[in-house]
């Protein structure tokens, strides 16, 4: 049996090695390392795939979020609503820009931001909401877009974990994660669903004016060379990464199907087990399983992780500490107990290996090993 990994990028690479190696060699040969034709090329392919008017490539997903907030003209003191159960990047850029993060709890089934909690958190200072499509499944964008129109708020989708996921709007139209709000952000970090071989990111929008501003901000606020109209940043996608992403984008749906196969295997193995709650499937969004995350019940999660590690199976906790309990984000407005769902999830979730290369033998070994431990209780 091949060694089990949380994410097996090596086995995935082996299958596309010829194509990737030749694409990388071509870029080196051309020496168009930055903003070469491959970047434009990938941008257009991604626009087509997502059905969105503008893709603005940038250096990483964190930059995508920061640049979006800058281009939308958010100012210190503006309140931005974000979930308390997520990766730090969301709250980080809000804080870096001097905006005020307003945290809200998540839904205990989908792990995603709770629209009812959003409604309660809106004040006259609220300017934007950042729904995070956590673990590969979309937040309830219907309700969130309704809240946005009613209160005139920007929606910045954090689609870093949900590349390729579809959301079915209440009028029946299918939209890709990240293309529903005013602006969408993604990351091409190697372990993401569409990952490159380094850092990378992109911003999506249908708004022509906003796209122009986003392109300006990622390029030092420059419109005409050495004319700086806005304060910007330096955030670029390398040509080598773009060339790799173009090759992997062609396989993204196939990759999502492989992740779903693994998820179904896990689901079947753990079905009905009172000690393990399998991930809820939300009717309006398909799941692209960036992570396969179980909620454990009635046993010590750390002991299960130790048991799995002892058998050569990695397992991780995403995320062990809620945002409001992080040292850097201590805030007199928040204390332990304020976000009960997030706090309970942080104590009980466990993520199993999830990637495109898991085979039946590995899946059987993983599920048998989990059940061997859990059934002891
Ligand atoms: C990965 C990730 C980011 C940040 O992306 P980077 O490319 O690592 O900067 C932001 N938000 C979420 C939810 C993520 O998973």
Instruction: Profile the chain (377 residues) by mean pLDDT over runs of 10 residues.
Output: 96 98 97 95 98 98 98 97 96 95 96 98 98 98 98 98 97 97 98 98 98 97 92 97 98 98 98 96 93 96 97 97 94 96 98 98 98 92
- Give the pLDDT confidence score for residue 19 in this predicted structure: 98
Give the residue whose CA is nearest to atom 5 of ligand 1: 61
- Whether the Cβ atoms of residue 287 and residue 293 lie closer than 8 Å to each other: no
d(CA 221, CA 235): 11
Q: Check if 201 has its Cβ closer than 6 Å to any atom of ligand 1.
A: yes
Q: Report whether residue 162 contacts ligand 1, using a CB cutoff of 6 Å.
A: no
Is residue 241 in contact with ligand 1, taking CB distance under 6 Å? no
- Cis previous bond, 270, omega within 30: no
Distance 177 CA to ligand 1 centre (A): 15
Overall pTM surpassing 0.85 (yes/no) = yes
pLDDT value at residue 202: 98
Question: Phi and psi of 283, rounded to 5°?
Answer: -60, -30
CA of 61 to the centre of ligand 1 (A): 5
Whether the CB of 62 sits within 6 Å of ligand 1: yes
The C-alpha atoms of residue 52 and residue 4 are separated, in whole angstroms, by 37
CATH code: domain 9-249 is 3.40.640.10
**Is CATH 1.10.3660.10 what the domain over 252-374 is classified as, yes or no?**
no
* CA of 195 relative to ligand 1 center, distance in Å: 11
pLDDT at 237: 97
Residues 209-243 as b or e (16 or more Cβ within 10 Å = b): ebbebbbbbbbebbeeeeeeeeebbebbbbbbbbb
CA distance 161 to 138: 9
Ligand 1 centroid–CA 166 distance in Å is 19
Question: Does residue 68's CB lie within 6 angstroms of at least one atom of ligand 1?
Answer: no
DSSP letter string over 63-117? HHHHHHHHHTT--TT-EEEEESSS-THHHHHHHHTT-EEEEE-B-TTT-SB-HHH
Question: For residue 165, which of 268, 63, 288 has the smallest C-alpha distance?
Answer: 288
**What's the pLDDT at 377?**
76
- According to DSSP, residue 182 is labeled S
Distances (CA, A) of 287 to 107, 127, 134, 257, 297: 16, 29, 10, 10, 23
Beta strands in the chain (DSSP E): 54-58, 79-83, 100-104, 126-129, 154-158, 166-168, 174-176, 183-187, 201-205, 276-277, 292-296, 349-352
Distance in angstroms (rounded) separating the CA atoms of residues 46 and 125: 35
Q: In sequence order, which ranges of 83-207 are alpha helices (DSSP H)?
A: 89-96, 115-121, 141-151
pLDDT of residue 277: 98
Which tens digits make up the pLDDT trace of 80-121?
A: 999 999 999 989 999 999 999 999 999 999 999 999 999 999
Which is the closest atom of ligand 1 to the Cα of 200?
Answer: 7
Per-residue model confidence (pLDDT) at position 178: 98
Distances (CA, A) of 160 to 87, 124, 188, 280, 317: 10, 29, 8, 20, 18
Domains 9-249 and 252-374 share a fold: no
Structure tokens at 20: 């990737």
Domain borders along the chain are 9-249, 252-374
Residue 157 CB less than 6 A away from ligand 1: no
Q: What is the pLDDT of residues 51-62, one digit of tens each?
A: 999 999 999 999
Q: Quick one: which atom of ligand 1 is closest to the CA of 290?
A: 15
- Residue closest via CA to ligand 1's atom 2 equals 160
């Amino acid at each position: 049996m091949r060694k089990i990994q949380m994410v097996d990028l090596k086995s995935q690479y082996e299958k596309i090695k010829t194509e990737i190696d030749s694409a990388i060699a071509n870029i080196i040969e051309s020496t168009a390392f930055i903003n070469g034709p491959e970047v434009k090329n990938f941008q257009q392919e991604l626009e087509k795939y997502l059905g969105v008017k503008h893709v603005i490539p940038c250096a990483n997903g964190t930059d995508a979020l920061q640049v979006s907030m800058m281009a939308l003209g958010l100012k210190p003191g503006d309140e931005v609503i974000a979930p308390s159960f997520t990766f730090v990047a969301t709250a980080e850029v809000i804080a870096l820009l001097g905006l005020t993060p307003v945290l809200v709890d998540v839904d205990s089934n989908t792990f995603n931001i709770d629209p009812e909690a959003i409604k309660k958190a809106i004040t006259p200072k609220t300017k934007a909401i950042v729904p995070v499509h956590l673990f590969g499944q979309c937040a309830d964008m219907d309700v969130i877009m309704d809240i946005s129109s009613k209160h005139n708020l920007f929606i910045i989708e954090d689609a870093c974990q949900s590349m390729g996921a579809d959301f079915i709007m209440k009028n029946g139209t299918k939209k890709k994660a990240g293309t529903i709000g005013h602006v969408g952000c993604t990351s091409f970090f190697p372990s993401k669903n569409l990952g490159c071989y380094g850092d990378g990111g992109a911003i999506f929008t249908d708004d022509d004016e906003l796209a122009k501003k986003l392109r300006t901000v990622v390029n030092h606020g420059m419109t005409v060379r050495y004319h700086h109209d806005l304060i910007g940043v330096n955030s670029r996608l390398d040509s080598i990464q773009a060339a790799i992403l173009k090759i992997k984008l062609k396989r993204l749906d196939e990759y999502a199907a492989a992740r779903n196969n693994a998820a179904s295997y896990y689901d079947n193995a753990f079905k009905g087990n009172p000690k393990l709650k399998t991930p809820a499937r939300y009717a309006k969004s398909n799941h692209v399983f960036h992570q396969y995350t179980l909620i454990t019940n009635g046993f010590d999660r750390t002991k299960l992780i130790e048991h799995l590690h002892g058998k050569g199976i990695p397992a991780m906790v995403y995320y062990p500490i809620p945002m409001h309990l992080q040292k850097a984000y201590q805030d007199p407005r928040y204390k332990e107990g304020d976000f009960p769902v997030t706090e309970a999830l942080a104590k009980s979730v466990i993520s199993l290996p999830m990637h495109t290369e898991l085979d039946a033998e590995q899946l059987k070994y993983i599920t048998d090993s989990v059940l061997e431990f859990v059934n002891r209780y």
